[in-house]
Amino acid sequence: MPQTSQMLAEYPEIQLHVIAELRGAFLDGEKNIRAMVDSLGAQITDPTSVLMAFQEITDSYPDARPALDLLLAEGGEVREAQFSREYGSVRQMGPARLEREQPWNTPESVAELLYYYGLIGRTFAGAGQNAHTIIYIPSDILPWLPQPKTAEGDQGLAITPVPPPPSARMLHLEDAFLEDTGTLLGFLHTAGLGLQADGTPDPDDIDHLMLRLQSANGFVSPFLGPAGSADIEEVRVALLLHLAKRLGWLRRGDDERVRLTGNRVYAFLEQLRPEQRFTLWEAWRTTPEWNDLERIPGLDCSGGDWQNNPLQTREVALQMLGHLQPGAWYSQVEFIEAVKDAYPDFQRPTGDYDSWYIKYEGSEGFLLGFDHWEQVEGLLLRFLLNGPLYWLAAIDLAEPSAGDDLLFSLSGWGARWLGHDSEMPSEGRRNLINVEEDFTVTLPPGTPLMDRFRVERFSSWQASFPRYRYQINQRSLNRAVDEGVQPDRILAFLDSRTKQVPKRIEESLRKYGEQVKRDA
């Protein structure tokens, strides 16, 4: 099949500009057709560009997905006669007619829609009596398109559930990632995050943030990377910051520190906890910038100029997980073996195991060839299960009664997110905030993130484990007033969230409020 540049070389200049506009590509400054073809071809074959075009078209035009599925199922090309019976044909036009009719604005068929988005082309094949026209997906776009949807159960894995583990073997995180999201927001609001000259976070500030996280007080993941010195907790913090950036919560303040954007953060804080979990899940599920493979501790993916597609790989992995039985428990080893047997190329659609120059940190040899599938693909699956999927509450983990083969199960949330009609898990009972005579404010885990953020605005953090503890002091009250939070509002908030506010606290806040009014 032709590559994209070969397809584009057949088009008039006006059509190149149309494809560029629809795909968000830039052709400014290109002086001739050859340069335009090269520039446009490079931009629209980028994996992220392909996935964005795919999602945009299939979300808006339901018939586009089965049209692409037909081509993908046939290896990327079918006879035009067959394709046009189902999805219409592409009207052939010269430059003048293209400019006059502008068919991309009102395509008459799915075929024309895909054609003007640069996802399919049209060419001739065969010779003599066997000559015919084909519709094809360019060979350098084909690997980045999601694989065809199949009938329910067709993507199931040959894996049998194992007996449920006893409760004592469960590896509970107790919503730690969501709780740490609230902690991050409070930290950025009160302290901010410094940046180094290269734009990366200041290590000292990261250390201060990590002291506040739930992970600072215990277990975060059973994942063991290939390098003993690699720290899975650092990956978890990086994911936390990445999702905050992707959700539009971060901005650079006047003090050159990372601060919060108001409206989007408050919209998240006002959500119910199930909605907040889903927000974080969707941000990870749909991000093309977070590369799970490259984030595996101890794995060096910097060799060569190969490129993987983390978004497509994540989608395929989640499709496989979605076919597991909700509530059933599975062996991680058996799951990985089943994937290797049924879908070994889940992250390499072209089956290329010889050009991805990956190695373990500190080693010399590259993990080339299918013989190293367990060290790359298998490692990636273990990282997904014990890292992001676990942190985001999509799966539960447990230790086996014997051996070191970890067990996993789709959580109630994960089952719903992956398409199962599962019962929504119940939320724990909401406990009251406690205020002590010494101006200490204690919040139990599970306190709404909005309430904890409000406490953070007028107090200073002290501890995050086993309960969140803050201290109201003169400095924190002054900061609150500077931000427009008056003492009477603080007192009203505490009255509504506690069983009883100590008299000493009430009197102090009232006196401070009177002083603020006098000084105004």
Indicate the number of domains in the chain. Answer: 3
249 shares its domain with 397: yes
Q: Is 423 part of a structural domain of the chain? A: no
* pLDDT tens-digit series, residues 456-469: 999 999 999 889 99
- What percent of the chain lies above the pLDDT cut of 70? 96
Band of the pLDDT at 218, cuts 50, 70, 90? low
- Using left for φ > 0, alpha for ψ between -120 and 50, and beta otherwise, residue 429 falls in beta
Q: Is 93 part of a structural domain of the chain? A: yes
The answer, yes or no, to whether residue 520 has pLDDT greater than 50, is yes
Final residue belonging to a domain, choices 417, 446, 471: 417
Q: Is 273 part of a structural domain of the chain? A: yes
The answer, yes or no, to whether residue 153 has pLDDT greater than 50, is no
Which residues contact residue 417 at a Cβ distance below 8 angstroms, ignoring those fewer than 6 apart? 278, 281, 285, 394
**Rounded CA gap, 313 and 504, in Å?**
58
Q: Is 398 part of a structural domain of the chain? A: yes
Final residue belonging to a domain, choices 356, 387, 417: 417
By the 8 A CB rule, do 377 and 344 touch?
Answer: yes
Q: Is 36 part of a structural domain of the chain? A: yes
395 shares its domain with 438: no
361 shares its domain with 504: no
Nearest to 145, CA basis, from 122, 117, 125, 124 = 117
How much of the chain is helix, strand and coil, in % rounded to 5?
Answer: 50, 10, 40
Band of the pLDDT at 507, cuts 50, 70, 90? very high
Give 518: exposed, middle or buried? Use CB within 10 Å, 0-12, 13-18, 19+: exposed
13 shares its domain with 126: yes
The answer, yes or no, to whether residue 228 has pLDDT greater than 80, is no
pLDDT of residue 195: 92
Band of the pLDDT at 219, cuts 50, 70, 90? confident
Give whole-number Cα distances, 121 to 3, 7, 41, 76, 365, in Å: 10, 6, 13, 11, 41
Which residues contact residue 51 at a Cβ distance below 8 angstroms, ignoring those fewer than 6 apart? 144, 146, 288, 309, 311, 312
pLDDT of residue 81: 77
114 shares its domain with 204: no
313 shares its domain with 452: no
Torsion of the alpha carbons at 42, 46, 52 and 57, rounded to the nearest 10? 50
**Number of Cβ within a 10 Å radius of residue 16:** 22
Band of the pLDDT at 496, cuts 50, 70, 90? very high
Task: List the domain range (segments joined by +) for residue 372.
Answer: 167-417
pLDDT of residue 217: 64
* pLDDT tens-digit series, residues 372-394: 999 999 999 999 999 999 999 99
Q: Is 149 part of a structural domain of the chain? A: no
The answer, yes or no, to whether residue 215 has pLDDT greater than 60, is yes
Band of the pLDDT at 154, cuts 50, 70, 90? very low
35 shares its domain with 114: yes
Phi/psi of residue 121, nearest 5 degrees = -130, 180
Phi/psi of residue 44, nearest 5 degrees = -85, -5
Q: Is 427 part of a structural domain of the chain? A: no
378 shares its domain with 489: no
* pLDDT tens-digit series, residues 11-47: 999 999 999 999 999 887 777 899 999 999 999 998 8
325 vs 380 pLDDT, higher one: 380
- Look at residue 303 and give its three-state secondary structure: strand
382 shares its domain with 250: yes
* pLDDT tens-digit series, residues 421-444: 877 888 877 789 999 999 999 999
Nearest to 220, CA basis, from 174, 187, 183, 182 = 174
pLDDT (average), residues 86-108: 91
pLDDT of residue 445: 87
The answer, yes or no, to whether residue 513 has pLDDT greater than 50, is yes
Final residue belonging to a domain, choices 77, 107, 142: 142
Nearest to 215, CA basis, from 226, 227, 206, 225 = 206
278 shares its domain with 309: yes
92 shares its domain with 182: no
The answer, yes or no, to whether residue 82 has pLDDT greater than 80, is no
Q: Is 208 part of a structural domain of the chain? A: yes
pLDDT (average), residues 320-345: 92
Rounded mean pLDDT of the chain? Answer: 90
pTM: 0.72
438 shares its domain with 313: no
